C-alpha cells in the first residue's frame, strides 16, 4: 500500500464526520434595494408518504440568496394553491406580492416537477415548465427551477444548478491539520469529500464540461498536479517535477492545461497537451510568472507576474507570442479570473495595505473594488458572470463569501467547523 493509500485508509472512518465539517451555511449580509416580492408556494406532493425534498423550499432559498428577490414567508400565506384555478389574486395582492410560483411533484421512476409562474398584478401566466430527473437529484432539479424563474424575471441565466469546489482545513486536538477537497451544490448543500490528506491541497479548477477537476496535492511530500474524473473517481498525476507544480487551468476546449512549473529554475507558465502530456513553455522571464487564466476564446492567457517590480496582470497571445500588461491601477493586482463574456476580469487588488476583490472591465479599463474586508483572495466567478465567490477571514476563521459584480449583493458561506478556502465555481453542468 502506497503512502497516499495509507492516508485514505486511515481516514475512512472519518468520512461521515468530514462531510458534516465541510457543510457550508448561508448568511445573507446585503441585498439590492427594493427586491422583487415573490411567493414560492409549497409544491403539491402527488405520491405516498412525504416528498423526498422540499422543492419549493430550495427555490425559495435560492431566490432569497440572490439578493434580487424577497420571498413571502410561508406563515403569511393565505393559501397553498398548486393549480391556476385555486389562485386568488386578491390574497396575494394583499401581501404586496408581484409574482407567485406554484407546482406539483410526482415520482414514477423519475421525479417530475411541473411548475408555473404567474404575474399577480396582471393575473396572467408568465411561463410554465417541467423538470425531470432522478429522485436522488431532487435538489439539483429544484435548482433548475430556480434558474428558470431567475432568468425569466431578470433576463440573466441562473447559476443555482452549479457546483462548488473548495478546500476545508480542520485541526485535530494534537494540532495536526487535515485538508479536504470538497464538492458541494452552489448553496453549500450535499458536500462530498473528494480527497482527504494530512498534506496541503490547493488550486482546484474545473474542466469546461464540468466532468473533471484538477488540483495540486502535496501527498507525495512535494506539490504535484492531479486531475480527477468526477464520474468514475479515477485520478491521474500529471506532473512530478522538482520545485513548483501549481495553478492548473483548463483550456476552454478541455484539451490542454496551463500550469506553473519551476523545473527550469524559475516559475514560468507552461501548457500541457492532455492527450500526449507534451509541455510547451510560453513564458521565459527571470521574474515570477504564475496564476494562469484562459480567455474564453482560447487564444490568450492572463497571468500574474512581478516582472515590472510588483505583481500585476499580463496577457500572453498564443498566436503572436506577445505579452502585454493589463493592469495599471494600484501597486498589486493578482489572481485574475475571466468571465465568460471575455470582458470582465475579477482579481485580487491591494489598497491601503489591505487585499480586496475587484473587477476590471477590459474594454473601459475601469477597475471597481467590490469588497471591504481586509484579506480577500482566490476569486472565482459564476458561469453567468453575476457573482464572485472568494475566500476571506471572518473573526478568526477562514470562510467563503460572495459578492455580485456590481457590489450590491453579499453573503457569507462559513463552514460548520474549520476553515474554508480556495473556492472554484463550476461551469454550467450538463444534464
- CATH number at 67 reads 3.40.50.10070
One domain, residues 317 and 350: yes
What length does the chain have? 431
Would you say 311 and 333 are in contact if contact means Cβ atoms under 8 Å apart? yes
Residue 346 lies in a domain: yes
Of 137, 154, 171, which residue constitutes the final position of a domain?
154
**Residue 419: its H or E element:** strand 419-425
Characterize the bridge pairing of strands 212-217 and 224-229. antiparallel
Task: Output the nine-digit C-alpha cell for 35.
Answer: 427586491
Q: Is there a single domain that holds both residue 134 and residue 266? A: no
Domain extent at residue 241: 3-26+161-425
**How far, in Å, CA of 95 to CA of 73, rounded?**
10
Question: 146 exposed, middle or buried (CB, 10 Å; 0-12, 13-18, 19+)?
Answer: buried
Alpha carbons 377 and 391: distance in angstroms, whole number: 5
Grid cell, residue 117, equals: 409562474
185 in the same domain as 121: no
Which residues lie closer than 8 Å to 122 by C-beta, 6 or more apart? none
Domain termination site, one of 134, 154, 174: 154
Say if residue 79 is in the same domain as residue 208: no
Q: Are residues 282 and 148 in the same domain?
A: no
Sign of CA dihedral 405, 407, 413, 418: positive
- Cα 119 from Cα 99, distance rounded (Å): 5
Over its length of 431 residues, how does the chain's per-residue pLDDT go in tens digits?
333 333 333 333 334 344 445 678 777 788 777 899 999 999 999 988 889 999 999 999 999 999 899 999 999 999 999 999 999 999 999 999 999 999 999 999 999 999 999 999 999 999 999 999 999 999 999 999 999 999 999 999 999 999 999 999 988 878 888 999 999 999 999 999 999 999 999 999 999 999 999 999 999 889 999 999 999 999 999 998 999 999 999 999 999 999 999 998 999 999 999 999 999 999 999 999 999 999 999 999 999 999 999 999 999 999 999 999 999 999 999 999 999 999 999 999 999 899 999 999 999 999 999 999 889 999 999 999 999 999 999 888 899 999 999 888 888 888 877 899 999 999 998 76
Does residue 67 sit in the same domain as residue 177? no
For residue 431, is it within any domain?
Answer: no
Q: What single DSSP character describes residue 76?
A: G
- In a domain? residue 209: yes
Any domain includes 205? yes
Full-prediction pTM beyond 0.75?
Answer: yes
* Same domain assignment for residues 180 and 298: yes
CATH code where residue 363 lies: 2.120.10.30
How many domains in the chain?
2
Task: Judge if 9 and 58 occupy the same domain.
Answer: no
Q: Give whole-number Cα distances, 4 to 11, 212, 239, 272, 422, in Å.
A: 11, 20, 16, 25, 22
Q: Which of 293, 354, 338, 383 is nearest to 346 (CA)?
A: 338
**In terms of Cα–Cα distance, which of 72, 135, 78, 68 is closest to 99?**
72
Asked if 45 contacts 112 with a C-beta cutoff of 8 angstroms, the reply is no
Residues 184 and 73 in one domain: no
Report the C-alpha gap between 317 and 294 in whole angstroms. Answer: 10
Please indicate, yes or no, if residue 430 is contained in any of the structural domains: no
Q: Is 200 contained in some domain?
A: yes
According to DSSP, the β-strands at 36-40 and 99-108 are parallel
d(CA 201, CA 204): 8
Largest CA distance in the chain: 73
Residue finishing a domain among 103, 130, 154: 154
Q: Are residues 386 and 242 in the same domain?
A: yes
Residue 189 and residue 139 in contact, taking contact as beta carbons nearer than 8 Å:
yes
CA distance to 16, 91, 288, 374, per residue, from 354 (Å)? 38, 50, 22, 5
Residue 235 lies in a domain: yes
Residue 91: what are its φ and ψ, rounded to 5°? -65, -40
Taking each helix axis from N to C end, the angle separating 138-154 and 55-65, rounded to the nearest 10 degrees, works out to: 50
Residues 81 and 194 in one domain: no
Same domain? For 91 and 57 the reply is yes
Is residue 223 domain-resident? yes
Amino acid at each position: 500500500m502506497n503512502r497516499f493509500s495509507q492516508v485514505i485508509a486511515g481516514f475512512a472512518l472519518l468520512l461521515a464526520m468530514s462531510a458534516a465539517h465541510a457543510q457550508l451555511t448561508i448568511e445573507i449580509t446585503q441585498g439590492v434595494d427594493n427586491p422583487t416580492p415573490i411567493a414560492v408556494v409549497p409544491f403539491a406532493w402527488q405520491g405516498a408518504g412525504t416528498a423526498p425534498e422540499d422543492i419549493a423550499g430550495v427555490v425559495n432559498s435560492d431566490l432569497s440568496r440572490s439578493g434580487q428577490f424577497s420571498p413571502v414567508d410561508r406563515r403569511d400565506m393565505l393559501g397553498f394553491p398548486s393549480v391556476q384555478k385555486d389562485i386568488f389574486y386578491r390574497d396575494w395582492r394583499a401581501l404586496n406580492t408581484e409574482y407567485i410560483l406554484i407546482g406539483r411533484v410526482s415520482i414514477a421512476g423519475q421525479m417530475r416537477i411541473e411548475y408555473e409562474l404567474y404575474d399577480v398584478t396582471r393575473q396572467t401566466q408568465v411561463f410554465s415548465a417541467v423538470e425531470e430527473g432522478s429522485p436522488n437529484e431532487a435538489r439539483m432539479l429544484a435548482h433548475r427551477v430556480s434558474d428558470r424563474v431567475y432568468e425569466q424575471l431578470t433576463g440573466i441565466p441562473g447559476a443555482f444548478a452549479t457546483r462548488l469546489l473548495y478546500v476545508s482545513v480542520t485541526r485535530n486536538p494534537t494540532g495536526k491539520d487535515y485538508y479536504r477537497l470538497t464538492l458541494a451544490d452552489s448553496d453549500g448543500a450535499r458536500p462530498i469529500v473528494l480527497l482527504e490528506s494530512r498534506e496541503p491541497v490547493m488550486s482546484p479548477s474545473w474542466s469546461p464540461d464540468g466532468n473533471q477537476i484538477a488540483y495540486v496535492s502535496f501527498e507525495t511530500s512535494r506539490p504535484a498536479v492531479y486531475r480527477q474524473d468526477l464520474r468514475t473517481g479515477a485520478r491521474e498525476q500529471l506532473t512530478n517535477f522538482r520545485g513548483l507544480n501549481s495553478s492548473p487551468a483548463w483550456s476552454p476546449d478541455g484539451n490542454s492545461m496551463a500550469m506553473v512549473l519551476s523545473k527550469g529554475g524559475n516559475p514560468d507558465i507552461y501548457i500541457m497537451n492532455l492527450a500526449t502530456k507534451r509541455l510547451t513553455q510560453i513564458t521565459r522571464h527571470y521574474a515570477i510568472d504564475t496564476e494562469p487564466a484562459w480567455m474564453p476564446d482560447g487564444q490568450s492567457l492572463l497571468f500574474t507576474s512581478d516582472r515590472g517590480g510588483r505583481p500585476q496582470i499580463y496577457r500572453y497571445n498564443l498566436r503572436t507570442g506577445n505579452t502585454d500588461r493589463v493592469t495599471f491601477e494600484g501597486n498589486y493586482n493578482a489572481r485574475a479570473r475571466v468571465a465568460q463574456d471575455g470582458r470582465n476580469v475579477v482579481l485580487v487588488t491591494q489598497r491601503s495595505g489591505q487585499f480586496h476583490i475587484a473587477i476590471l472591465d477590459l474594454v473601459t479599463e475601469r477597475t471597481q473594488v467590490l469588497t471591504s474586508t481586509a484579506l480577500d483572495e482566490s476569486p472565482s466567478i459564476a458561469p453567468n458572470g453575476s457573482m464572485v465567490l472568494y475566500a476571506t477571514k471572518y473573526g478568526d476563521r477562514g470562510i467563503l463569501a460572495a459578492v455580485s459584480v456590481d457590489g450590491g449583493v453579499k453573503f457569507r458561506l462559513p463552514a460548520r467547523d474549520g476553515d474554508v478556502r480556495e473556492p472554484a465555481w463550476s461551469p454550467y453542468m450538463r444534464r
